[in-house]
A and B are shown apart, each in its own frame.
Chain A
Amino acid sequence: MPLSADDIRTALSALGEELARNDDDRAELVIVGGAALVLLFQARESTRDVDAYFVRPAASRLRDAVERVAMRLDLPADWLNDGAKGYIVGLTKGELLHQSPSLLVHAASLPQLLAMKLAAWRDAIDRADAALLLGQLSGSREEIRAALKSFLAPHQLDKASYALDDLWEALHGHS
């Protein structure tokens, strides 16, 4: 069963409760990928994965709390994971998604989310997400292309560029 925005919020709240049992410093995450889109725009449901960058503490120190939440809510043990960290270039924080004394969660910035969607560009889901994000940004095609460049690794530039051109023309024509 896919996750709705409410499901993800419930899981983040439960994670905050689990983390509060420890005396550790406040944990901080930045959510990327589809889960960020679901939380920001409630446009669709997500697969049962929340991809995040673990600002602090390290993933190994969060894992127990993540697994306890998984048991409580019947989620996969790795429902929150940092498997996408290899795709994150130059992390930037966007909207605040959750805060409690033990846990702070932001989405990545909209330009970073768009850059990651264009670099992934796997299917109609990525195209719809990218269209939603592009609609939130202002500027010409070339201004947006330039703004995204700092979030892309060199080997991603070609794909992200043709993806942006296709998406731009689908939304705006050849302007």
Chain B
Amino acid sequence: MDIRELVRCILAGNLLSARQWVADANRASMAWDEVGRPEGLTKTEMSVAAGLVELLAARSGGTPPSWTAKVGALQEPVVLDPGLEKMPRSFARAKKEAPEPLRRRNLVALPDFLDVA
């Protein structure tokens, strides 16, 4: 499975495909520590990739690969969930309580984003 597919689904707002990607990864018991650093991504895409790999690895009880630690925060926040800004309470929660691997990179999403368990 290619993490770039998940990143592009999310940044395109295609959350149903993103959920499916995560469900398939869970079914396949994906070895998150073996996910290679993706090539050909923009800075934003790379931050999203690193944040997602860390998030999904943590949720599955695994460890992320070492390359994610070297991918830092974006200068401007990026909302990963289209329309979230129109929901003031939820948006405030997302800014404060987004999963740590996302929040640390200035990526905004609700606490249970992509939780398909």
Contact = CB atoms under 8 A, between A and B. Distances in A.
Contacts of B86: 170
A48 B114 contact: no
Residue among B17, B83, B88, B90 with max Cβ neighbours from chain A (10 Å): B90
B109 interface: yes
Interface in B77-103: 81-84, 86-90, 93
Given A166-B90, A170-B87, A124 B15 contact: yes
CB-based closest 7 A-B pairs:
A166-B87, A162-B89, A122-B112, A47-B20, A123-B81, A166-B89, A166-B90
Interface in A3-53: 44-45, 47-49
14 contacts: A47-B116, A48-B20, A49-B23, A120-B112, A121-B90, A122-B112, A122-B113, A123-B81, A123-B113, A124-B81, A124-B83, A125-B19, A162-B93, A166-B89
A82 interface: no
Contacts of B112: 120-122
A166 B89 CA distance: 6
Interface residues of A, number: 22
Interface residues of B, number: 26
Interface string A138-175: 00000000000000000000000011011100100000
Interface of B: 13, 15-17, 19-20, 23, 27, 81-84, 86-90, 93, 109-110, 112-117
Contacts of B20: 2, 47-48
A50 to B, nearest CB: 12
A83 interface: yes
A74 B4 CA distance: 25
Contacts of A162: 89-90, 93
A45 B93 contact: no
B26 to A, nearest CB: 10
B15 A48 contact: no
Nearest to B87: A166
A127 B82 CA distance: 10
Nearest to A121: B110
Contacts of A163: 89-90
Contacts of B17: 2
B16 A44 contact: yes
Contacts of B115: 120, 122
Contact of B15 (A78, A120, A123): A123
A19 B88 CA distance: 48
Contacts of B81: 123-124
